Amino acid sequence: MERIPVFAPCTGIDTLKHLTDALDVGWIGMGATTKEFEDRISAFLGLTDRQVIATNTGTSALHIALVAAGIKPGDEVITPSFNYVADHQAIRMAGAEVVMCDIRDDNLGIDCAKAEPLVTNKTKAIIPLHFAGLPCDQAGVFSLAKKHKLRVIEDSMHGFGTAIDGRKLGSYGDITCFSFDPVKIVTSIDGGCVIVASDQEFSNLQRLRLLGVDKDTTERYKNRRAWDYDVVSEGFRYHLTNIMASVGVSQIKRVEEFIASRQRVCRAYNDAFCKKPGLKIPQTDFSDVSPFIYSLRVLDGRREALIAHLQNLAVDVGIHFIPVHKHTYFAQCRRSDMTVTDKVAAEVLTLPLHSNMKPEFVERVIAGVTSFPG
Ligand SMILES: Cc1ncc(COP(=O)(O)O)c(C=O)c1O
């Protein structure tokens, strides 16, 4: 029986054509295709008053977003422990201290009531995560940030296309970061982006992305390099190449199709599992959600048994996440109580979800979960 992987890329002859066309141009580094990818991200998200900087990973996007937001050594940044460790590493890369907060039981996003007591005069930013593409308490985060003058860098890596009140993540707010890594809905093999409103921060980000060089970005967008330049700040080598961007362009052309196909699978999963005792399914009809993963909760300590049951049926599963306060390198960070995080971390289970997932795979996952005794 064919194993069903948790993730599967949806690339075809279209991606291959974009790649070979990009190779034929003879300029494989950052260039015009990088700019085209940025323009397409902007168009898809409906950006009107903000700009996009494509990067080589989502992690590097977070890092330079923090630096551009003015985060520096000695500052503190609050983020959930129930998050991917990329955020915590990016905070440390910016020289700041990681402060971890618990999550809410309903949307598995940051619990603002528990975040507020963590704020000190060193706290300068907050990084909320929209887990699995479902919105966190964004209004609560914005109001906390306003009250304490914090920057908000939204980790929207799981929600490329998710909308709140009809507006897509990234099209408003402070700073937003996305990832286009190999398993994301839109992939550029590896890649990411920062979306920012201020022109000053936009040009700072361009320099931060490219070794602090002041005017190379505009030249490279024309598939050539500036030979006369100055270095005016620190900088990193975080730019996205034409080759990677060409994969991203091929993918973003199909993003609506990908999202719709994933929503259909998530709804089929919810319909099939909603009456099964011992499971807690995502509380959404997915209409405004761009679902990166389908994560449900297995109650009563039965998760490992369900994993074994599905493994026997050749259905792979994932776990998002091991809370970051459990990792050695981050165990000493200041944090709130982790009551919900610790409970949820023992319950979450990620089922296979692919763009244009084979119907046979969907049926087998559903049959696997519904045949689990209990
Ligand atoms: C929630 C979250 N934040 C950050 C990242 C980092 O993105 P990247 O893998 O593109 O560096 C990921 C990637 O998996 C993620 O899931």
CA angle 211, 217, 218 (to 5 degrees): 160
- The torsion angles phi and psi of 205, rounded to 5 degrees, stand at -65, -35
CB neighbour class for 28 (10 Å; exposed up to 12, middle 13-18, buried from 19): middle
Find tokens 């903000």 and name the residue: 50
Return the DSSP state at 189.
S
End-to-end CA distance of the chain: 25
> pLDDT tens string for the chain (374 positions)?
999 999 999 999 999 999 999 999 999 999 999 999 999 999 999 999 999 999 999 999 999 999 999 999 999 999 999 999 999 999 999 999 999 999 999 999 999 999 999 999 999 999 999 999 999 999 999 999 999 999 999 999 999 999 999 999 999 999 999 999 999 999 999 999 999 999 999 999 999 999 999 888 889 999 999 889 999 999 999 999 999 999 999 999 999 999 999 999 999 999 999 999 999 999 999 999 999 999 999 999 999 999 999 999 999 999 999 999 999 999 999 999 999 999 999 999 999 999 999 999 999 999 999 999 97
CB 58 within 8 A of CB 178: yes
pLDDT of residue 188: 98
CB 162 within 8 A of CB 134: yes
| β-strand pairing of 334-335 with 97-101 | parallel
pLDDT of residue 137: 98
CB neighbour class for 309 (10 Å; exposed up to 12, middle 13-18, buried from 19): middle
- The tokens describing 274, both together, are 């909603």
Closest approach atom of ligand 1 to CA 179: 10
Q: Which residues line the pocket of ligand 1, CB cutoff 6 A?
A: 57-59, 83-84, 86-87, 129, 155, 157-158, 179, 181, 192
Q: How many other CB atoms are there within 10 angstroms of residue 109's CB atom?
A: 23
Ligand 1: centre distance to CA 153 (Å): 14
Dihedral sign of CA atoms 159, 161, 164, 168 in order: positive
The whole-angstrom separation of Cα 237 and Cα 152 is: 24
Question: Nearest residue CA, atom 8 of ligand 1?
Answer: 58
pLDDT of residue 360: 98
Q: Quick one: residue 363, left, alpha or beta (phi over 0 = left, psi -120 to 50 = alpha)?
A: alpha
CB 240 within 8 A of CB 188: yes
- The tokens describing 285, both together, are 């009809």
The whole-angstrom separation of Cα 372 and Cα 8 is: 24
Pocket mutation for ligand 1, best pick of 59, 134, 187, 319 (most atoms within 8 Å of C-beta): 59
The whole-angstrom separation of Cα 361 and Cα 315 is: 9
Q: Quick one: residue 142, left, alpha or beta (phi over 0 = left, psi -120 to 50 = alpha)?
A: alpha
Q: Is the pTM of this model over 0.85?
A: yes
The whole-angstrom separation of Cα 147 and Cα 226 is: 44
Residues 6+ apart with CB under 8 A from 322: 345
pLDDT of residue 266: 98
Ligand 1: centre distance to CA 371 (Å): 33
Ligand 1: centre distance to CA 57 (Å): 8
Ligand 1: centre distance to CA 157 (Å): 6
